Amino acid sequence: MKIGVTYDLRSDHLALGYSEEDCAEFDAEETVQAICDALVHHRHEPDRIGGIKALTARLAAGDRWDAVFNFCEGLKGVAREAQAPALLEGFDIPYVFSDPLTLALSLDKAMAKRVVRDGGVAVAAFAVVERAQDAPSVDLSFPLFCKPLSEGSGKGVGVMSRVDDPAGLLRTVAYLLERFRQPVLVEEFLPGREFTVGITGTGDRARVLGVVEIVQKAGYVGHGYGLENKQANWEDKLDIVRATDANARAAGQVALDAWRLLRCRDGGRVDVREDAAGRPCFIEVNPLAGLRPGYSDFCLIAEYEGLSYNDLIGLILASFLERHPDLKGR
């Protein structure tokens, strides 16, 4: 099967003048090559495409594929992750991972929380602040936790994120609004254990691949699993530990319920954190989870469960082919 691969390469965007923070969600050459190598391992023919503009040009030139491994994050707007799959749907080309609605919904963290909350999944009480002057009207119990509404890779999560009083809330909200030019999600701080859950499959066939706990070390920055903790020298700041106890299993069930409610597909990751009573609460879902070998949480979860990188990509492809049985054997 000829499979196009869509992606945003970090080095390409850095060369265009974007900052390291701007490019935090984008992929390393190592990741793109690993995906292509895995596709070859599974007897497919990968064709590197690139981002939304490259995909548009290739489609306009008449290029077509049996399927596309869509790993394109996009650059602008709350629907940026939905742009490539929406374009592919317009040309009736099937693709791996979630559809435009799910990708746009999950990027808006408050909208995603509303959907899973309505489905009976626990979330922390939250509010969305669009103007700094509205911060004093937030009716939530301190301490609170603040982050940009529609960012990934922990962008905007740092030492200022946890606030303990109205003055701190106003400072952090004003800073985030100015820095990221988007609304701020404010939620009651969850003080318990923090898990990230790997999921593979779609709908009733989805299952928990594994659960890991984020364990803070002396060098941990702030009170959340933010960009500064995820990037260089992360081993000095935290441990990512395989978790299999009853609390981890409960977190896995919360993640699986949220995954199904948001209609995520094929594979990804869900973040869960416990409240003061030990109740696991949905934080957010990443339906385009990082796939950098030996580094991304999703890949580490697979390793802890005894799976190789090729095995992980194979599970993702198997879910995709279950949705497109007409492509099997190509």
152-167: pLDDT as tens digits: 757 888 888 999 999 9
Confidence of residue 40 (pLDDT cuts 50, 70, 90): very high
Alpha-carbon distance of 34 to 293, in angstroms, equals 7
User: What stretch(es) of the chain map to CATH 3.30.1490.20?
Assistant: 125-188
Find the angle CA(271)-CA(320)-CA(80) to the nearest 5 degrees: 55
Query: Is 275 within 8 Å of 281 (Cβ atoms)?
Result: yes
Exposure pattern of 24-36 as b/e (b: 16+ CB <10 Å)? bbbbeeebbebbb
Four-point Cα dihedral 246, 251, 256, 258, nearest 10 = 150
CATH code of domain 125-188: 3.30.1490.20
User: What stretch(es) of the chain map to CATH 3.30.470.20?
Assistant: 194-325
Region of poorest pLDDT, from 107-121, 126-140, 226-240, 282-296? 226-240
pTM of the model: 0.92
Provide the CATH topology of domain 2-96: Rossmann fold (3.40.50)
* pLDDT of 218 above 70: no
CATH class for the region spanning 194-325: alpha beta
- β-pair type (67-71, 2-7): parallel
Exposure pattern of 51-83 as b/e (b: 16+ CB <10 Å)? bbebbeebbeeeeebbbbbbbbbbbeebbbbbb
- DSSP letter for each residue of 26-75: SBPHHHHHHHHHHHHHTT-EEEEEESHHHHHHHHHTT---SEEEEE---S
* pLDDT of 229 above 60: no
